[in-house]
Amino acid sequence: MKPFFRTFQALLLVLVLAETASGVMPPDHYAEMSERSKIKATALVLSVEILETTKEHTMKRVSFFLRHPFSDGVPDHFSGICFSVDWPWQSPMAGGTLYFYPETGDKVYVTVASNGGGITSYTYLNEGLESLFVDNPDKIRYGMGNAWLDL
């Protein structure tokens, strides 16, 4: 019985470690992803296209119209991919995926890894907040999928 119990313990340990490895990353990881993104901008969401719906998530392509760039070479129109959980029957997998819920007409501060790549942060703005971002680009800080001003 002891060999079986030890084998069971070892298997359980491997499963726990494997699950932990795919878990949510530390907040600094997400901040670094946003910081390294090629596109940083305030933008208006022009359209949201559903690319795929699975039992875990909905994958979307979000098209943006540039309002104000915060990095070099941001095109007037750009896009990014994101995931969301839109239906009660969807059950997200364990892991560090960030979920965003864009809608046409949203005014946002957004970071995208590269044009057409993954959205790394998505922060809703109003006119006043957008002005603060534009006036204080050196104060922008990043967290887990969002940005804020360190004023």
Residue length of the chain? 151
Instruction: Report the pLDDT value the prediction gives residue 18, as an integer from 0 to 100.
Output: 39
Instruction: Report the pLDDT value the prediction gives residue 2, as an integer from 0 to 100.
Output: 53
Instruction: Report the pLDDT value the prediction gives residue 12, as an integer from 0 to 100.
Output: 39
User: Per-residue confidence of the chain (151 residues) as pLDDT tens digits?
Assistant: 455 444 444 443 334 333 444 467 888 999 999 999 999 999 999 999 999 999 999 999 999 999 999 999 999 999 999 999 999 999 988 888 999 999 999 999 999 999 999 999 999 999 999 999 999 999 999 999 999 999 9
**Spans of all domains in the chain:** 27-149
The DSSP 8-state label assigned to residue 93 in this structure reads P
Instruction: Report the pLDDT value the prediction gives residue 27, as an integer from 0 to 100.
Output: 82
Phi-psi group of 82: left, alpha or beta (phi > 0 → left; psi -120 to 50 → alpha; rest → beta): beta
Whole-number Å distance between alpha carbons of 132 and 149: 8
CATH of domain 27-149: 2.40.50
Query: Tokens 């680009």 belong to which residue?
Result: 137
Whole-number Å distance between alpha carbons of 148 and 151: 9
Instruction: Report the pLDDT value the prediction gives residue 23, as an integer from 0 to 100.
Output: 61
